[in-house]
């Protein structure tokens, strides 16, 4: 018998378990929040950009990176030793360790665009204009969040939920995280289930730590020492400055 069958006692039992879990700060046995965004083959990349990846060494990148449709020559300042994974380009330009795969990159970039539209097109948000766009100091539960302007993270923010729970953040403006602040995951929340749809520029201060998948329409620009557990998927450029970018655990 599943929890949705009509017998009163099982329904009462599951409701009680869910309420008890929320009271102690844990997640109930079923996933909360919206359905995850399907990244398609873009999910094979930790960094994917349509118009180039620039880097000020040293950076530490774990996962595949790629650029398309722009030439591999737009991948600059990046040493092959900084990447644990494959470096994909559409042509024979770029880092010496490049793997040329124009068809695969074309598909991945199309999937990235589709994922952005999926995230941006979700309706019936659970929260709108939370904190007037300033979310520092808050603890955010799974759900769909929407802002009509910029979003800032001036102090640490916590995302609390279970390993299968999902967060989607929609913002019509920039995303700005202050230096030395952290996005903190609690109660088993996982970066692979957190999606930040950013219409403007996503920028990160020195020493900031970020969690989740960034779907950026304009650009992703971390400053020196910012670290990421997630994916940087940009329809324009990604600009690195001695950053650590690690693909999320599956």
Going by their DSSP bridges, the two strands 139-140 and 157-160 should be labelled as: parallel
**pLDDT at residue 126, as a whole number:** 98
Nearest-angstrom CA–CA distance, 20 and 227 = 35
Q: pLDDT (tens digit, 9 = 90+) per residue, 67-125?
A: 999 999 999 999 999 999 999 999 999 999 999 999 999 999 999 999 999 999 999 99
Alpha-carbon gap, residue 19 to 26, rounded angstroms:
10
Burial (CB count <10 Å: 0-12, 13-18, 19+), residue 247: buried
Burial 14-34 (b: 16+ CB within 10 A, else e): beeebeebeeeeebbeebbbb
Kindly tell me if the per-residue pLDDT of 1 is higher than 90: no
- Residue 92, Cβ neighbours under 10 Å: how many? 10
Which whole number is the average pLDDT over 182-191?
A: 98
Query: Per the structure block, which two tokens stand in for 248?
Result: 């999320």
Residue 28 has a pLDDT of: 53
Cα–Cα distance list, 64 to 54, 55, 71, 153, 205 (Å)? 15, 15, 17, 28, 24
What's the chain's length in residues? 250
This prediction has a pTM of 0.88
Phi and psi torsions of 22, nearest 5°: -65, -35
**Which two three-digit tokens encode residue 38?**
């399907």
Task: Choose between 150 and 31: higher pLDDT.
Answer: 150
Percent share of the chain, pLDDT over 90: 88
Six token digits for residue 73:
């020559």
3-state secondary structure of 41: helix
List residues bridging with 168 in a β-sheet.
144, 195
pLDDT in tens, 17-65: 344 444 444 445 678 999 999 999 999 999 999 999 999 999 999 999 9
How far is Cα 175 from Cα 220, in angstroms, rounded to an integer?
A: 9
CA distance 232 to 53: 11
- Say if CB 196 and CB 174 are below 8 A apart: no
CA distance 163 to 11: 23
Does position 160 have pLDDT exceeding 60, yes or no? yes
- Report pLDDT for 30: 78
Domain ranges of the chain: 1-30, 32-246
Predicted confidence band of residue 11 (pLDDT cuts 50, 70, 90): very low
């Amino acid at each position: 018998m599943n929890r949705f069958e009509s017998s009163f006692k099982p329904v009462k039992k599951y409701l009680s378990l869910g309420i008890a879990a929320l009271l102690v700060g844990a997640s109930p046995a079923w996933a909360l929040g919206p359905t995850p965004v399907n990244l398609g083959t873009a999910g094979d990349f930790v960094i994917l950009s349509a118009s180039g990846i620039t880097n000020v060494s040293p950076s530490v990148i774990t996962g595949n990176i790629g650029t398309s449709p722009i030439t591999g020559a737009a991948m600059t300042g990046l040493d092959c030793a900084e990447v644990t994974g494959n470096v994909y380009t559409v042509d024979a330009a770029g880092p010496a360790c490049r793997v040329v795969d124009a068809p695969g990159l074309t598909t991945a970039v199309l999937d990235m665009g589709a994922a952005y539209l999926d995230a941006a097109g979700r309706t019936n948000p659970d929260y709108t204009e939370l904190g007037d766009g300033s979310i520092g100091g808050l603890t955010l539960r799974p759900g769909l969040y929407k802002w009509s302007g910029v979003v800032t993270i001036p102090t640490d923010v916590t995302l609390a939920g279970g390993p299968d729970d999902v967060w989607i953040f929609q913002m019509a403006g920039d995303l700005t995280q202050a230096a030395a602040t952290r996005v903190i995951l609690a109660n088993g929340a996982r970066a692979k289930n957190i999606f930040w749809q950013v219409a403007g520029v996503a920028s990160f201060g020195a020493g900031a730590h970020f969690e989740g998948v960034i779907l950026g329409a304009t650009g992703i620009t971390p400053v020196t020492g910012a670290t990421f557990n997630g994916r940087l998927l940009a329809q324009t450029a990604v600009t690195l400055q001695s950053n650590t970018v690690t693909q999320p655990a599956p």
